[in-house]
Homo-oligomer: A and B are copies of this chain.
């Protein structure tokens, strides 16, 4: 299969691309790096990415910005960051990609464990992650030609503990290489409309 990995230059995306690369041809997409570039907040950039890559069998999105900060301080612009980037960016990868992906292809998006296990300062992120999971569950009912869609909801990665660990106290971190398996489960598996959670024991 030919698999597009958007966010392939990030901590998670790199591990996802590495695991998929064992069995598939991977096209690594980044915002500024990678084989192909895309700005997921820009519909014309998404279309240009698909034009450049041509026929494909699966797309994995391991990207998306969202604001973290105290609830009472979240501004309208900070709410919109997550809605425009992590939410609508990933939705638009699917909306545009569904017209172009091969029959029986798939889309795998990324949310985050705080959709189900919220933390302080995570209101904007939990809102967006929940929305992504709802989108996949409902879009799965209507995607034509055997096209599947799933979400991976990872806990904090071992590689990100230094940066974000304080906010995730008590969440057992998981190595990116383990989180990557959930994406492979989605791409190589048969299920659709699911959220695959990746978490430690807590």
Contacts and interface: CB of A to CB of B under 8 A. Distances in A.
Interface of A: 43, 70-72, 74, 76, 79, 83, 87-88, 91, 95, 98-99, 114-115, 118-123, 125-135, 137-139, 141-144, 193
Contacts of A142: 70-72, 120-121, 123
Contact of A127 (B74, B91, B115, B193): B91
B141 A120 contact: yes
Nearest to A125: B138
A98 B135 CA distance: 29
Contact of A79 (B70, B88, B126, B129): B88
Nearest to A82: B131
A118 to B, nearest CB: 4
Contacts of A91: 79, 127
Closest 7 CB pairs of A and B: A130-B134, A131-B131, A126-B138, A118-B138, A71-B142, A123-B138, A127-B135
Nearest to A114: B138
A127 B118 contact: no
Number of copies: 2
Given A138-B127, A139-B123, A95 B118 contact: no
A151 to B, nearest CB: 11
A134 B122 CA distance: 10
Given A74-B95, A95-B74, A142-B70, A134 B137 contact: no
A74 B95 CA distance: 9
Nearest to A118: B138
Contacts of A115: 134
B135 A134 contact: no
Contacts of A122: 138
Given A120-B142, A127-B131, A127-B135, 10 more contacts: A43-B76, A71-B138, A72-B95, A79-B91, A83-B87, A115-B134, A118-B134, A130-B135, A131-B131, A131-B134
Contacts of A144: 72
